[in-house]
Structure 1
Amino acid sequence: MDSDQIKEKRDFSRPSEHLVNQSLSLAMDYTWDKMQLDEHWRGEALCNVTITAEQVFLFQCLGKSPIPDAELYKRYILSEQKDDGSWPLVTKCHGDISASCEAYLALKILGMSPSCQEMTKARQFILKAGGVSKVRLLTRISFARFGLFHWDAVPHLPAELILLPPSLKFNLHRLSPWARSTLIPLLVITHHRPIYALPNGRSVANDFLDELWVDPTHKMTSHSSLFTSRELDPTELLFSGLDTALSYIGGLRRFPLRKKALRYCIQWILNNLEQPGECPEISLPIHNNILALLLEGFSQDSPAVKVGMEAIKRFTCQDETGKRLQTCESPVWDTALMIRAICDLGWNTYDDRLEKSIDWLSKLHMPKIRGGLPGFRTQKVLRGLSFQHDKNITPGVDDTVAVLLSMLHQNSSKIKSDTVLRAVMWICEMQNSDGGWGAFNTDNKQWLNKTPLKALRHSSTTDLTGYVLEALGMVLNIASQKDSEDLRLWLAQTKVLGVIATASQRAVRYLAQEQEESGRWYGRWSAGYLHGTSAAISGLAWFADGDNWVKDMITSAVSWIKEVQNLDGGWGEGFESCNDRQMAGKGYSTPSQTSWAIMCLLEELDPDDASIRAGINYLLAQQQDTSLKRQGASWEESNYTCTASPGSLYLRSQLSSHYFPIMALGRYRKAMLCTHAD
């Protein structure tokens, strides 16, 4: 298709000022309507069916018969089935063998007949994909609990891992909080190797899913593929060899330290469950925590188990599609980004509702981190101040940066508060040796991701580094204002400015090293290159004045953004770009990804640029007016754009498709007023 044809499909006309204002007005009506308890926002974090399937498995393990709300769970799982009978990890993506097998088992437990059309199509897809033997590790463990896999077909996870000292390169402190909260209860479960009953009874070699095996007479399938990739990797071979050795000695299950290790695991679980408000903010570990406690002698009526069951209810959602579980909650993130969006559109920053939401965030600061592993001192990097919701265990750089940006945009004078200052210093302490930032621990090594459990580490990422750099740049900018001499003197005395300047310089160098030849950056936490590039530019823009090196980086990135604009004027990218760079910037347009791109372009181009016009027109056209219900208007997107665990778990934040377009439209309106005031 030539350039003339492309132009004909995009709307390059200048967006009407009236339409932009009307769009933002309706969007704000929706924003206030969605406010929770007049103080914060909390959108649903949609994910694939596996989390809901695991809820069905938990009920089955607990002997709940009939399973509560079985028809509602069944309706939801069926609503997510694709035409080819499969279930995907991401909407509009190909089916996934593990998700499909889990959905199939859940439906069969819920009473679906294998001969019905939906189950027949699912079975055909699964067998064509290689059968149930091809599922990933966590699915194998779930199925082994019912005798559908032999426990010897699951990698050994010795509980003694919790006893490894921090001085070793591999210890649980180096794992991401997600991996740690997932792994520790699995250490208990894989020690006990339980076998729970299915509707056809209890058996160590249950034939309940025999129809999903290509050859059901050979179920003792090797799990070596869980360790090794297509390319020979020494680290993967090491873990494979260790697992083989553990097989010969019974997985250390009779090792003298096993009782102590299990006791430490249970104590860690109790630390995360028994204290009010201290349950993990992801649902899958809660399922496994409950089973681990029961296997270690706790009753279903024990306080810890009851707290776990109550916590699961927080993640449960129900509507016309049925009943389902979210994988996580993100009220801190949603509230911080919504505040930022409101400020970007020029709303009165002293609005009482906005002040209440800032106060709500301020109360979530963590002056002291608890919840370390039993017997170990809390790591130095966990001291300081962070912002978290309903827990005091794992501080997150991402949430903390989002809160900082929202506070400073709402009222720049908050830079003088002790809370903000300590948070800034804590973030600087969390910087990795390469100059970037990860979400949680510092300097986690890439080799940790060679183990059977993927995504064990959170090393530096360009998108998070870009957001941190944006916050640091904003602090430096506020301090440089003419009327901020007293602030500069005070910050100089505390040596904060020097620390920020050094951290910023290192971060700029990190982003320079990570930028690809095309000008783009890869982002870890949302769909690939569009998010990574947008976040990197948002940070670098604060350091572009007088620095041609930084300007060149931004100019190169903006050129790439313009090149990948879709024919409808929007931008989109799927998760295929994670493994295939040729798919970078390619995918169905979405409101959130289009907004990221527009905000990139506004940092470098005149707001009247043709690409920006087309992007704004796309957003205006995609907004859905629900004003008849007095809820204003918003944007919807069915595509998943957030990454929880690459390759296995992706999210679609319910509110991200709302606050990102508000940011883009608000910044566009402000840029037009400043640039074309005449």
Structure 2
Amino acid sequence: MMTSDATVERALAAAVGALQRRQDPAGYWKGEFETSLIGEAADVMLRHFLRLPDDGSVAATARTILAGQSPTGGWAAHHKGPDELLLSVFCYVALRLAGHDTDEPELRAAAAAIRAGGGIEAVDNPTMLAWLALIGLWPWRDIPLIPPELVLLPPRCPGSIYQIGAAARGIVVANSLLMARRPVTPVGFTLTELFASPGSRRRLPRPRAARIATTLSHWYARRPIGFLRRRAVRKAARWLVGTQERDGSWGGNWPQTANVVVGLDSAGFPQDHPVIKAAMAALDRYVVDRGGQRRLEMWTSVLMDTALAMSAAAMTGDPGARSAAGRAVPWLLDNQVTELGDWAVLTKDPVPGGWPYEFANDANPDSDDTAFAVAALRRLHPRGTHAAVDRACERAVRWMLSQQCADGGWAAFEPLRWQLPGRAALARIGFLEAPSADITGHVLEALGADGRGHAPAAQRGIAWLRRTQHPDGSWPGWWACYHLHGTSAAVTGLTACGVPGSDPAVVRACEWITAHQQPDGGWGEDIRALRDPAWLGRGDSNPSQTSWALLALIAAGRADSEAVHAGLGFLTRTQRGDGDWDEPWHTWVVHHDGLYWRDSMLRLVYPVMAMAAYRAATGGPAAGGPSIAGAADGGGTEHR
């Protein structure tokens, strides 16, 4: 069924009104970042390990955890997902720490679900099991230890901390300190009820290489070279203190900050040390109080949300929306990273200029958010129209080009600097990152917006996308789910750099997208596609993923196609009366091994982009055209 332009116009007006209302007075936009409850459970463990006084936080967190328990007894890592074993174990332990008894119906159901999933003995994530070891619920002997001596290796030496992915570097250094000491704050109970086989115990990891690595790490931990160990511990602690962000965090996020607090505690830092006090204050800022429940925003997606909201507002052509985006420009320029960080250590002739994902992460800006920022700034201020924007974009582009991988693609953080058997497994848990279609596509879109679509670096990026396209026409993404995201980003990046919609690579991609449209006109790809190919391109339709598909098809010149009209119909039918949409699905990825997220801002931003792109492609008001604010004042389309 064809969707009328008038219907799209009303829906867009309502969405623009919602977008403007959600802007912070400081100029930025920020949605609520939601993951599974793994962070809430870890927070309870952290408070126990540090022996923090009971201020009601643990009980409030326990209420949050209980509210998220699935009907089958465990806890799911994503919307409509099955119980996830590690997450369920963490939530169970947190409830025990909060004082809940094993005989309570909720805990009996949880224990049964864990045993049905293979039991606690089936958990095989050494990084996360270390949290259980800290409170005496797991033997340190089964966990491979990271020696702090890694910080003594030269940056270009294999195994150096600078050969590890930027997102994991601080956690690795922090964990090396706690693993050097292997402290324990006992909990006073055991977890025997969680073993599937009574009397069983955790075995060393099955792969031979992992068993050898674990054995050797413990052998050296018992016999360290004294002066090297002391020097390494001092240097690791100094490195961590030197990389603390201005807001007291590390990396601008809860997981890295919490790990560093534990590491520095193990190195002897008292809780009244200024570094620790600032870190604890930073951890408190990630807490969201929900009327007696307590949850965490493990990351703050403020830069991404702001840049994409600015682009969406600029694309509408509405003067009011563009004015709102203009108010975000000073905030965005103030948050550009203008100092050297970790990324510069192995970068030739480093020039700062990227943007981070969070409020504060000067050590590790990323190519994805830098690309979003450049595209947003250029949609508002083309070259030569704003001197400060020109300078910021020049710095940002130089920084992005310095981060291009040798094969022509881009990763979010740093170029992949080494090859190793098992690299894919390390990448899945965040210790490495290879170039991906979504990041490469976003960088190409930014280069196109900055007038550099024909530059040699852009052409190398285009060639990388051509080489890595799957035979079915799709590309896998990395930071969102999955082939829908990668394919959409690749198409929008290619077309932004001048590749026509008739190009065979673009045609195959669009055919893949249209082939995976749902009967309701929308698109959806379940997070299970990350592990199960049967889910590729399949899942419940939702506003974000529908908009990704629409943006690609419209960019490829298919705005007047039946698929696009059906997709727009899905968006207009599912829009709420306040102009926003509902989206409980987790469509974004932190780690491919089970940590996924959703953002309450992006479910609004992407539909605005898609409808604005359709409007421009079909001859609707262009940038700077008639205002739609009047229609926005009247509220959204009826939710049907």
TM-score strictly above 0.5: yes
Structure 1 residue 96: Cα displacement: 0.8
Residues 1:348 and 2:319 aligned together:
yes
Which whole-Å CA distance do the structure 1 matches of 2:127 and 2:198 have between them?
A: 21
Q: Indicate how the Cα distance of structure 1 residues 350 and 94 shifts in structure 2: closer, same or farther if over 3 A, else same.
A: closer
Residues 1:394 and 2:375 aligned together:
no
Q: 8 Å contact 1:521–1:536 — kept in the other structure?
A: yes
Unaligned residue ranges in structure 1 (runs of 5+): 1-11, 201-206, 229-236, 478-496, 627-632
Q: 8 Å contact 1:188–1:262 — kept in the other structure?
A: yes
Structure 1 residue 545: Cα displacement: 5.2
The count of residues paired between Structure 1 and Structure 2 equals: 614
Which whole-Å CA distance do the structure 1 matches of 2:224 and 2:90 have between them?
A: 28
The DSSP-based 3-state class of the residue aligned with 1:256 is helix
Q: Indicate how the Cα distance of structure 1 residues 40 and 249 shifts in structure 2: closer, same or farther if over 3 A, else same.
A: closer
Counterpart of 1:669 in structure 2 is 615
Residues 1:359 and 2:347 aligned together:
no
Which whole-Å CA distance do the structure 1 matches of 2:56 and 2:501 have between them?
A: 62
The DSSP-based 3-state class of the residue aligned with 2:10 is helix
Identity among equivalent pairs (%): 27
Counterpart of 1:516 in structure 2 is 470
Residues 1:211 and 2:193 aligned together:
yes
Residues 1:530 and 2:484 aligned together:
yes
Which whole-Å CA distance do the structure 1 matches of 2:69 and 2:491 have between them?
A: 38
Counterpart of 2:562 in structure 1 is 610
Structure 1 residue 468: Cα displacement: 0.8
The DSSP-based 3-state class of the residue aligned with 1:81 is coil
Of the three residues 532, 542, 556, the one matched with 2:508 is 556
Q: 8 Å contact 1:415–1:421 — kept in the other structure?
A: no
The DSSP-based 3-state class of the residue aligned with 2:243 is helix
Structure 1 residue 255: Cα displacement: 4.2
Q: TM (normalized to structure 1)?
A: 0.86
Structure 1 residue 106: Cα displacement: 0.4
Counterpart of 2:633 in structure 1 is none
Could you tell me which amino acid in structure 2 is paired with residue 390 of structure 1?
A
Counterpart of 1:660 in structure 2 is 606
Counterpart of 2:625 in structure 1 is none
Could you tell me which amino acid in structure 2 is paired with residue 443 of structure 1?
L
Structure 1 residue 146: Cα displacement: 1.6
Which whole-Å CA distance do the structure 2 matches of 1:60 and 1:637 have between them?
A: 34
Correspondence 1:103-502 to 2 at 5 A:
103-135=91-123, 136-198=125-187, 200=188, 207-215=189-197, 217-219=199-201, 221-225=202-206, 228=207, 238=209, 240-250=211-221, 252-253=223-224, 255-273=226-244, 275-276=246-247, 279-320=250-291, 322-348=293-319, 351-370=322-341, 379-380=347-348, 382-388=350-356, 389-413=359-383, 417-445=390-418, 447=420, 448-450=423-425, 454-476=429-451, 501-502=455-456
The DSSP-based 3-state class of the residue aligned with 2:470 is coil
Q: 8 Å contact 1:521–1:529 — kept in the other structure?
A: yes
Of the three residues 2, 11, 29, the one matched with 1:41 is 29
The DSSP-based 3-state class of the residue aligned with 1:652 is strand
Q: Indicate how the Cα distance of structure 1 residues 557 and 275 shifts in structure 2: closer, same or farther if over 3 A, else same.
A: closer
Could you tell me which amino acid in structure 1 is paired with residue 305 of structure 2?
D
Counterpart of 2:636 in structure 1 is none
Which whole-Å CA distance do the structure 2 matches of 1:594 and 1:450 have between them?
A: 30
Deviation per residue, 1:161-207 (Å, 9 max, x gap) = 12121222332112222211221111111111111032x3xxxxxx4
Q: Indicate how the Cα distance of structure 1 residues 466 and 378 shifts in structure 2: closer, same or farther if over 3 A, else same.
A: closer
Counterpart of 2:624 in structure 1 is none
Which whole-Å CA distance do the structure 1 matches of 2:144 and 2:196 have between them?
A: 22
Deviation per residue, 1:472-518 (Å, 9 max, x gap) = 122237xxxxxxxxxxxxxxxxxxx9xx6111111111001111111
Which whole-Å CA distance do the structure 2 matches of 1:515 and 1:371 have between them?
A: 31
Q: 8 Å contact 2:474–2:512 — kept in the other structure?
A: yes
Which whole-Å CA distance do the structure 2 matches of 1:443 and 1:252 have between them?
A: 33
Q: 8 Å contact 2:34–2:597 — kept in the other structure?
A: yes
Residues 1:589 and 2:541 aligned together:
yes
Q: 8 Å contact 1:446–1:457 — kept in the other structure?
A: no
Of the three residues 27, 39, 46, the one matched with 1:51 is 39
Which whole-Å CA distance do the structure 2 matches of 1:473 and 1:377 have between them?
A: 28
Which whole-Å CA distance do the structure 1 matches of 2:262 and 2:198 have between them?
A: 28
The DSSP-based 3-state class of the residue aligned with 2:451 is helix
Q: TM (normalized to structure 2)?
A: 0.91
Which whole-Å CA distance do the structure 1 matches of 2:72 and 2:457 have between them?
A: 51
Q: Find runs of 4+ consecutive structure 1 residues off by over 6 angstroms.
A: none
The DSSP-based 3-state class of the residue aligned with 2:596 is strand
Quote the RMSD (CA, aligned, Å).
2.4
Could you tell me which amino acid in structure 2 is paired with residue 172 of structure 1?
I
Deviation per residue, 1:35-61 (Å, 9 max, x gap) = 112410111110011101111111111
Q: 8 Å contact 1:271–1:371 — kept in the other structure?
A: no
